[in-house]
Amino acid sequence: EAGVTQSPTHLIKTRGQQATLRCSPISGHTSVYWYQQALGLGLQFLLWYDEGEERNRGNFPPRFSGRQFPNYSSELNVNALELEDSALYLCASSLGISRPQHFGDGTRLSIL
């Protein structure tokens, strides 16, 4: 079974630009989660999507947004990039509520 896949592996942007990160969940998983792993800060919950709807959101500004498509894949969009947005962005998927989350390899976003 294919795991959670994320693209791109590495993304380099400059301040003020917009970034789009993509995630494909494990087949059959309907929930997708996004996390930010900044250096020294551990994992911070960003967003949870289930069945195409945003179900919960972490303490991030509105310039962090996303969506889930009918095939359950997901995009994370970050607008007006700032230097502190540099981090590893991890996507996870699960079968449903309270089921274990399975993580992708992440996208390393670097802001110059």
Residue given tokens 């380099």 in the structure block: 12
Residues 79-108 touching another protein, rule: CB under 8 A, are 88, 90, 92, 97-98, 100-106
CA atoms lying within 13 Å on the CB side of residue 29: 29
Contacts 24+ apart (CB under 8 A), 59-63: 60/36
Q: Give the tokens for residue 53.
A: 């709807």
Nearer to another protein, 35 or 81 (CB): 35
Q: Is 55 in the site for another protein (CB under 8 A)?
A: yes
Residues 30-49 touching another protein, rule: CB under 8 A, are 31, 33, 35, 41-45, 48
Q: Which helix (H) or strand (E) holds 52?
A: none
Q: Contact, 18 vs 81, CB < 8 A?
A: yes
In the complex, least distance from residue 11 CB atom to another protein, rounded to whole angstroms: 15
Residues interacting with another protein, by CB under 8 A?
31, 33, 35, 41-45, 48, 50, 55-56, 58, 88, 90, 92, 97-98, 100-106
